[in-house]
C-alpha cells in the first residue's frame, strides 16, 4: 500500500538554493491534507519536507478541526478541492449551482442526450401536466426526424464534403432549432468542482433557494462532503445568518420583467480619464488577446435584453460578468428565430410549432402553482429577461467569443449587439479594437466536427 513516503514529488531547484515542488498526491494526500500542508507552509519556514513528516505522523484531521472549523481560518479551506457529480436533475439545478462566480465544472450538452427516454420532471404530478410534457416530447422527436430530412434539401451537401461530417452538421442544426421545444424541467447532469471554503459558502445560499429540488441537492451535497471530509464541514447553523440568507433567497434569486425592448444599454459607469491610461492596450490589442485584467478598475457597462432560456444556459457560463438569474415565463413570448427556422424548412412543422406554443400557454394558465414551479413545463425557446453587467475585460472576452460562427444564432445576435454598443460608447475616446465575427452564416459545415470523442 502506497504511503506518503512513496510519493514522487516533482522538484526543480532554484539558483538561490530554494526549489519548486509540484506535489504528487497519489491518492494519499487528500484535499484536507493538502490544505493542512499549505497552511503550515504559510506559518513556518521549516519547509515542506518537515510538514510532510508532520502529516505522516499526525494526519490532517485534528489540524482541520482546530484551525479551519474551530478557529474559522477560512483561507485554509481555499487550499483543498472537491469534485461533485450530480445526475438526474432538471435544468434549473445546474443553472442554480453555476450562479456563483467561482464555480468550475461541466454540464451535459443537451445535443447529446436522448430525449426519447430522458425524464421530464413533473412536480405537479397531474394528468394535465403529464399531457403537456409528453406533447412537447412527441413534437421534439418528430421535429428532429423531419428536420434531418428537410434540412438536407435546404442545405445540400457540397462537393468535397465528407458525408459523416455533413450528417453531423445537419443533426446539430436540427437540434439547434428543436431545443427550443424542450421543457426546462428535462433532466440533465453536471459536475461541480471548487475548494472546500467555496463549497461551504455557496451551500449556504443554495439551501435557501426557492426550488425544493435545489435545496435537496444542496443538503445532499453537504451531507456527502461531511462524510468525505469530516474535519472540514459542520452543520452548525447561526440563526441570524440563516434568516438573512433565506430572505435574500426569497428577494433576489430571480429577475423578471413582463416587457422589454429588443436591446438596451441600461447603464454606463466608465471612468474615461482613467481609461486613457489603457489607450495603448485598447487600440493595439490583436485578435484573441485579452485586455489587461487591471482595466476592470475603469468601471462597468450594463446591458438588458430578452433571450431564450436555451441560450441563457450558454451565456451564463461567463461568470466574470454579473448576470441575474431570469425567471422563465411566457410573458416575453417565444423566440421568433426558432419559428422562422421551422417556416424556412417545413410549413407543416411551423404550423405545428405555433399550435404547440398556443397549447402550452393555455395549459399553463390553468395550472395552480407558484411561477417557480411553472418553469418546469415551459419550453426553453421562451424568452427571459436578461440583465448583464461587466467590466471591459470580461465584456470583451464574452462578446468576441459569443459572436463566433459556431454560437447559437439567438445568442450570437445579442453578442454582436453588445459589441457594437460597446464600440459606440468608447469610439469618441479611442478606436476600440473589438474583433467581432459578423459574417453571415446560416449553415456551416465545420459544426459537424465539434465533438468530444474518446479514441
Q: Which long-range contacts does 203-208 make (Cβ < 8 Å, 24+ apart)?
A: 204/241, 204/242, 204/245, 205/100, 205/245, 205/248, 205/249, 206/96, 206/97, 207/245, 208/242, 208/245, 208/246, 208/248, 208/249, 208/250
For the entire predicted model, the pTM comes to: 0.86
Q: 45, 79, 113: which is the final residue of a domain?
A: 79
Q: 54, 79, 104: which is the final residue of a domain?
A: 79
The answer to whether position 180 is within a domain reads: no
- Hey, CA dihedral for 392, 397, 400, 406, is it positive or negative? negative
Q: CA 128 to CA 140: how far, in whole Å?
A: 19
Could you tell me the CATH number of the domain that includes residue 288?
3.30.70.3180
CB of 36 within 8 A of CB of 9?
no
Question: Grid coordinates in use for 48?
Answer: 515542506
Q: Helix or strand or coil: residue 357? A: helix
CB of 102 within 8 A of CB of 197?
no
Number of domains in the chain: 2
The answer to whether position 138 is within a domain reads: no
The answer to whether position 366 is within a domain reads: no
The answer to whether position 255 is within a domain reads: no
Whole-angstrom CA distances from 302 to 85, 100, 297 are: 34, 19, 15
Q: Which residues of 344-381 are buried (b: 16+ CB within 10 A; e: fewer)?
A: ebbeebbebbeebbeebeeebeeeeeeebbbbbbbbbb
The answer to whether position 350 is within a domain reads: no
The answer to whether position 434 is within a domain reads: yes
Whole-angstrom CA distances from 431 to 71, 281, 358, 428 are: 52, 11, 48, 8
Question: Grid coordinates in use for 27?
Answer: 491518492
Q: CA 348 to CA 351: how far, in whole Å?
A: 5
The answer to whether position 124 is within a domain reads: no
Number of H helices, E strands in the chain: 17, 8
The pLDDT, as a whole number, for residue 451 is 55
The answer to whether position 426 is within a domain reads: yes
CB of 231 within 8 A of CB of 61?
yes
Among 294, 285, 257, smallest CA distance to 392 is for 294
Each residue's pLDDT tens digit in the chain (455 positions)?
A: 677 788 888 777 767 666 776 666 676 677 777 777 777 776 666 677 887 888 787 777 676 676 555 645 567 767 678 778 888 889 999 999 999 999 988 898 887 788 888 999 999 999 999 999 999 999 999 999 999 999 999 999 988 889 989 999 999 999 999 999 999 999 998 888 888 889 999 999 999 999 999 999 998 898 888 887 777 788 889 999 999 999 999 999 999 999 999 999 999 999 999 999 999 999 999 999 999 999 999 999 999 999 999 999 999 999 999 999 999 999 999 999 999 999 998 889 999 999 999 999 999 999 999 999 999 999 999 999 999 999 999 999 999 999 999 899 999 999 999 999 999 999 998 888 789 998 887 666 666 566 544 44
Domain limits at 58?
4-79
CB of 93 within 8 A of CB of 107?
no
Q: 30, 51, 79: which is the final residue of a domain?
A: 79
Q: CA 100 to CA 169: how far, in whole Å?
A: 33
Amino acid at each position: 500500500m502506497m504511503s506518503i513516503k512513496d510519493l514522487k514529488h516533482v522538484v526543480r531547484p532554484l539558483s538561490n538554493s530554494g526549489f519548486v515542488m509540484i506535489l504528487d498526491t497519489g491518492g494519499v494526500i487528500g484535499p484536507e491534507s493538502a490544505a493542512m500542508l499549505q497552511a503550515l507552509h504559510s506559518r513556518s519556514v521549516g519547509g515542506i519536507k518537515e510538514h510532510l513528516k508532520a502529516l505522516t505522523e499526525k494526519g490532517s484531521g485534528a489540524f482541520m478541526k482546530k484551525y479551519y472549523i474551530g478557529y474559522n481560518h477560512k483561507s485554509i479551506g481555499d487550499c483543498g478541492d472537491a469534485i461533485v457529480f450530480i445526475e438526474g436533475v432538471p435544468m434549473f439545478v445546474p443553472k442554480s449551482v453555476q450562479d456563483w462566480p467561482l464555480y468550475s465544472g461541466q454540464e451535459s450538452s443537451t445535443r447529446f442526450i436522448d430525449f426519447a427516454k430522458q425524464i421530464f420532471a413533473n412536480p405537479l404530478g397531474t394528468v394535465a401536466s403529464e399531457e403537456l410534457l409528453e406533447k412537447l416530447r412527441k413534437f421534439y422527436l418528430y421535429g428532429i426526424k423531419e428536420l434531418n430530412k428537410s434540412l438536407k434539401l435546404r442545405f445540400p451537401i457540397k462537393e468535397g464534403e465528407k458525408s459523416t461530417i455533413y450528417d453531423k452538421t445537419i443533426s446539430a442544426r436540427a437540434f439547434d432549432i428543436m431545443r427550443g421545444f424542450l421543457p426546462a424541467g428535462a433532466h440533465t447532469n453536471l459536475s461541480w468542482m471548487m475548494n472546500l471554503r467555496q463549497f461551504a459558502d455557496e451551500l449556504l445560499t443554495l439551501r435557501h433557494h426557492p426550488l425544493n429540488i435545489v435545496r435537496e441537492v444542496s443538503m445532499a451535497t453537504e451531507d456527502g462532503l461531511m462524510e468525505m471530509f469530516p474535519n472540514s464541514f459542520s452543520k452548525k447553523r447561526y440563526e441570524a445568518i440563516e434568516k438573512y440568507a433565506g430572505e435574500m433567497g426569497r428577494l433576489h434569486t430571480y429577475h423578471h420583467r413582463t416587457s422589454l425592448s429588443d436591446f438596451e444599454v441600461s447603464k454606463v459607469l466608465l471612468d474615461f480619464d482613467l481609461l486613457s491610461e489603457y489607450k495603448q492596450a485598447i487600440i493595439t490589442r490583436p485578435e484573441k488577446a485579452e485586455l489587461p485584467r487591471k482595466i476592470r478598475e475603469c468601471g462597468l457597462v450594463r446591458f438588458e435584453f430578452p433571450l431564450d432560456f436555451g441560450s441563457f444556459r450558454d451565456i451564463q457560463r461567463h461568470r466574470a460578468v454579473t448576470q441575474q438569474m431570469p425567471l422563465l415565463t411566457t410573458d416575453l413570448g417565444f423566440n421568433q428565430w426558432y419559428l422562422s427556422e421551422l417556416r424556412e424548412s417545413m410549413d407543416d412543422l411551423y404550423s405545428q410549432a405555433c399550435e404547440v406554443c398556443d397549447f402550452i400557454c393555455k395549459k399553463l394558465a390553468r395550472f395552480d402553482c407558484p411561477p417557480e414551479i411553472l418553469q418546469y413545463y415551459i419550453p426553453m425557446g421562451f424568452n427571459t429577461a436578461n440583465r448583464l453587467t461587466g467590466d471591459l475585460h470580461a465584456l470583451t472576452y464574452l462578446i468576441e467569443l459569443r459572436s463566433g460562427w459556431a454560437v447559437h444564432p439567438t445568442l450570437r445576435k445579442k453578442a454582436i449587439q453588445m459589441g457594437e454598443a460597446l464600440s459606440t460608447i468608447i469610439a469618441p475616446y479611442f478606436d476600440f479594437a473589438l474583433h467581432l465575427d459578423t459574417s453571415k452564416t446560416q449553415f456551416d459545415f465545420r459544426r459537424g466536427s465539434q465533438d468530444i470523442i474518446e479514441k
